Amino acid sequence: MLEYALRRILWVIPVIIAVAAVTFFLMYRAPGGPWDREKTLPAATLASLNAQFGLDKPLWVNPDAVRELRAQGVSNPLALATAYIDSRFLNYMTGVFRFDLGPSYASKGAESVQELIARKFPISLKLGIVAIVFSVVVGIPLGIIASLRQNTWIDYLSLGTSTLGVSVPTFVSGLLLLLFLASSFNFSPIRGPEEWEGFGRAYLLPGVVLGLGTMAYMARLTRTSMLEIKRQDYIRTARAKGLADRGVVGRHMLRNALIPIITILGPAAADLVTGSIIIESIFGAPGLGREFVESIAKRDYSVIMGTAIFYAILVAIANVFVDLSYGVIDPRIRVRR
């Protein structure tokens, strides 16, 4: 089990490299730059900013630096090779593996990307926690009740609610909720910056809206899994032995039905934590998702790439925990070489 866990954790490294390379290539291929909004800055100042943040270097390799060293009479192969690979991409990748995601261009280097993530991510994390709790607490019981009351009005109501939750995007349900509360109750769930500092009611409505889709999908998946297990022979045997319905549902049906639920719960949890970009924009939450959108408009390359890598790590870690949890939930599942 330990060897398997180490292999799964080591697979995170190529994932980080791939995400960093693709994000880097897409950002620097996009038109514009981080100083496009600085229309009043003179050319000398822009050149100084590019030199300060390494934006004057070539993307991949730096043959100009090698020519300059050779013109100075330097013939050391190591020095020439170091100068040759002194490029934006390799410098950035080196920084990533030193846990240095670079400075934020929008702040002119006053704040690093790590500091920005540490300041903004807790808000996104709290929204994700509310959404996950709502999805699990509502979705799984809803699916269980629907499977136990199959083809009744409770089942039809559950199916209708989950279908609506899966079909309606979160940005539509969020806007509809805002309009409904504002027009019917003269109430706006948009809070001021100071109300997002703790863990209060400001997170309730946006967290519920964020978790609606996952809750609906989890309810449908739970219902399907429970109905499939309900028809198995060992369930009929358990009932024939005189076990109470609560014991049959809790010990036999639900435990086996959790396998597909856990499979989607890990990635869904990472998606809820990292996918609150639209919800944060709608409800005015100053989280990392909103900062990510604003950094794209500002061409803040280091924030875009650092946030993408951070999110990729969260998703990869969630998948590792899902794989390792199978053996805990179902003892029949064992890791084999």
Q: 144-186, pLDDT tens digit by residue?
A: 888 888 888 888 888 888 888 878 877 787 778 777 776 666 6
- For residue 112, the tally of other CB atoms under 10 A from its CB is 18
Q: Are 142 and 153 in contact (CB under 8 A)?
A: no
Return the SS3 of 189.
coil
DSSP 8-state symbol, 195: G
Cα 227 from Cα 23, distance rounded (Å): 43
User: Residue 138 corresponds to which amino acid?
Assistant: V
Question: Is residue 291, in this structure, part of any structural domain at all?
Answer: yes
Answer yes or no: is 104 within a domain. no
Q: For residue 204, give the CATH number of its domain.
A: 1.10.3720.10
For residues 6 and 332, the answer to whether their CB atoms sit within 8 Å is: no
Surface-to-core class of residue 103, CB atoms within 10 Å of its CB (0-12 exposed, 13-18 middle, 19+ buried): buried
In a domain, 69, yes or no: no
- Kindly report, residue by residue over 300-322, the tens digit of the pLDDT: 888 888 888 888 888 888 777 77
Q: Please, which pLDDT band fits residue 189 given cuts at 50, 70 and 90?
A: low
Average of pLDDT values for 124-146? 87
State the Cα–Cα distance between residues 100 and 114, nearest whole angstrom.
7
Question: Would you say residue 269 has pLDDT above 80?
Answer: no
pLDDT reported for residue 186: 61
Sequence-separated (6 or more) residues with CB below 8 Å from residue 142:
158, 161, 162, 215, 219, 222, 223
Closest CA to 120 of 309, 267, 319, 277: 277
Domain membership of residue 190 (yes or no) is yes
**What does the pLDDT look like over 226-258, one tens digit per residue?**
888 777 777 777 777 666 666 677 666 777 777
- What burial class does residue 237 get, using C-beta atoms within 10 Å of its C-beta: 0-12 exposed, 13-18 middle, 19+ buried? exposed
Question: In this structure, is residue 182 part of a structural domain?
Answer: yes
- Report yes or no on 172 lying in a domain: yes
Confidence of residue 332 (pLDDT cuts 50, 70, 90): low
Q: Tell me what percent of the residues of the chain surpass a pLDDT of 70.
A: 85
Q: What is the pLDDT of residue 200?
A: 72
Backbone φ and ψ for 191, nearest 5 degrees, come out as -110, 160
Q: Is residue 163 part of a domain?
A: yes
Q: How far apart are CA 7 and CA 34, in angstroms?
A: 39
Which stretch, 38-47, 78-87, 203-212, has highest mean pLDDT?
203-212
Averaged pLDDT, 108-121 = 85
* pLDDT over 80 at 292, yes or no: yes
Burial class (CB in 10 A: 0-12, 13-18, 19+), 97: exposed
- How many structural domains does the chain have? 1
- The span from the CA of 311 to the CA of 162, in Å, is 27
Give the residue with greater pLDDT, 77 vs 252. 77
In-domain check, residue 61? no
Please give the structure tokens belonging to residue 321.
């925990």
Mean pLDDT of 53-57: 77
Burial annotation 300-332 (CB, 10 A radius, 16+ → b, else e): bbbbbbbbbbbbbebbbebbbebebbbeeeeee
CA separation for the pair 296, 294 (Å, rounded): 5
Query: Does 213 or 263 have the greater pLDDT score?
Result: 213
pTM for the full model?
0.76
Please list the residues that pair with 103 across neighbouring strands: 112
Instruction: For residue 235, give its domain range.
Output: 117-329
Higher pLDDT, 40 or 189: 40
The pLDDT of residue 1 is: 64
Mean pLDDT of the chain: 78
| Rounded-to-10 torsion of CA 204, 206, 210, 216 | 60
> How many other CB atoms are found less than 10 A from the CB of residue 62?
20
Model pLDDT, residue 337: 47
Name the token pair of 324: 């390792």
Position of tokens 């990392």?
Answer: 288
Least confident of 53-62, 180-189, 291-300: 180-189
